[in-house]
Amino acid sequence: MMLYLQDICGDIMDNPKNVYELLLMIKKYPGAFIGEKSALKLKSFLDGFEYAMFLCNNESFTKNYAGFKKWFEIKHNIRNTDSWYEYLIRHYDDVKAFDVFFSEAEEFFEQNTRN
């Protein structure tokens, strides 16, 4: 148990430098951030975090997360007001939607860090 806590503290102590690093931390330790693997809880967390970053004028986070959301809409041909969450939850259960979100996020950030 102590090793697990040390692993979490080590990751958390290395503050995420961008949204992708934050997402990697959440994926690795969902219980530490949102309690369990849940697309709904992830969306709630990210919405709150996005708002906090907006209030702090952290354009890097808001720009990168907005870029991911726009990319997701284009990739999945979403032409209404649905978010990534609404799309995924329509196709998967909450836990599977959590996993699919991270697969999509990894694809987006890999494409955008190469360019």
Residue 101 CB: number of other CB atoms within 10 A? 24
Answer for the pair 53, 38: CB distance below 8 angstroms, yes or no.
Answer: no
Q: Please tell me the predicted confidence (pLDDT) of residue 18.
A: 80
> Is the pTM value of this prediction over 0.85?
no
Vertex 29, ends 76 and 59: CA angle to 5°? 55
Q: Give the whole-angstrom CA distance, residue 88 versus residue 15.
A: 29
> CA distances (Å), 114 to each of 54, 62, 69, 108, in order?
26, 20, 18, 10
**How many residues in total does the chain contain?**
115
Amino acid, single-letter form, for residue 58: N
Answer for the pair 38, 94: CB distance below 8 angstroms, yes or no.
Answer: yes
Q: Taking Cα atoms as reference points, which of 64, 57, 58 lies closest to residue 21?
A: 64
pLDDT (tens, 9 = 90+) of the chain, 115 residues, equals 444 544 544 544 456 778 888 999 999 999 999 999 999 999 999 999 888 888 888 888 888 888 999 999 999 998 887 889 999 999 999 999 999 999 999 999 999 875 5
Q: Please tell me the predicted confidence (pLDDT) of residue 114.
A: 59
Q: Please tell me the predicted confidence (pLDDT) of residue 64.
A: 87
Q: Please tell me the predicted confidence (pLDDT) of residue 29.
A: 93
Domain layout of the chain by residue ranges: 2-114
